[in-house]
């Protein structure tokens, strides 16, 4: 999920689409477990070494099934339901006002540019190979 002002998006649609193409490629990389797991584990461990938060340094590293099941949509399009669940968690934790409603979320979510980015990116051979490789993951997790 990305948050941006409407005026920025209107002025920079090609920049936003390039961002989404890179993000989608990253989503594919993250879900390709075990292929990329060793690298992801190395990066995660390296980031924790210098973390000033002791609880972060002591927390278990992510497992392959957890990395593979990350809720990152392979086409980049977010689930409005997923956004709403995240907001509800923040409301339940009392870090976000209860005044935000589902209708508010529905009113601000815009996916036109990510849909355009996916439409262009999904035609590339690289992404076609990724999707073929990730099909068992999609079948296992449902997204």
At 60 the pLDDT is 81
**What whole-number distance in Å separates Cα of residue 69 and Cα of residue 53?**
26
Domain ranges within the chain, ordered by starting residue: 6-141
pLDDT at 143 over 80: no
Q: Count the neighbouring beta carbons within 10 Å of the beta carbon of residue 1.
A: 8
Inter-residue contact 84 to 105 (CB < 8 Å): yes
Mean per-residue pLDDT over the chain, rounded: 89
At 45 the pLDDT is 86
Kindly report, residue by residue over 55-97, the tens digit of the pLDDT: 888 888 888 888 888 878 889 988 788 788 888 999 999 998 8
pLDDT at 1 over 80: no
Q: How far, CA to CA in Å, does 4 sit from each of 9, 12, 22, 69, 75?
A: 7, 11, 17, 27, 19
């Amino acid at each position: 999920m990305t948050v941006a002002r409407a005026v920025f998006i209107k002025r920079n649609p090609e920049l936003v689409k390039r961002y989404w193409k890179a993000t989608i490629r990253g989503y594919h990389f993250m879900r390709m477990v075990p292929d990329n797991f060793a690298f992801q584990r190395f990066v995660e461990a390296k980031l924790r070494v210098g973390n000033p938060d002791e609880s972060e340094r002591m927390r278990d590293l992510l497992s392959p099934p957890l990395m593979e099941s990350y809720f990152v949509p392979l086409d980049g399009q977010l689930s409005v339901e997923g956004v709403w669940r995240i907001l509800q968690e923040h409301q339940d934790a009392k870090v976000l006002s209860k005044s935000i409603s589902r209708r508010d979320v529905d009113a601000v979510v815009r996916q036109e540019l990510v849909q355009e980015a996916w439409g262009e990116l999904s035609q590339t051979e690289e992404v076609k190979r990724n999707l073929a490789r990730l099909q068992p993951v999609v079948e296992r997790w449902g997204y």
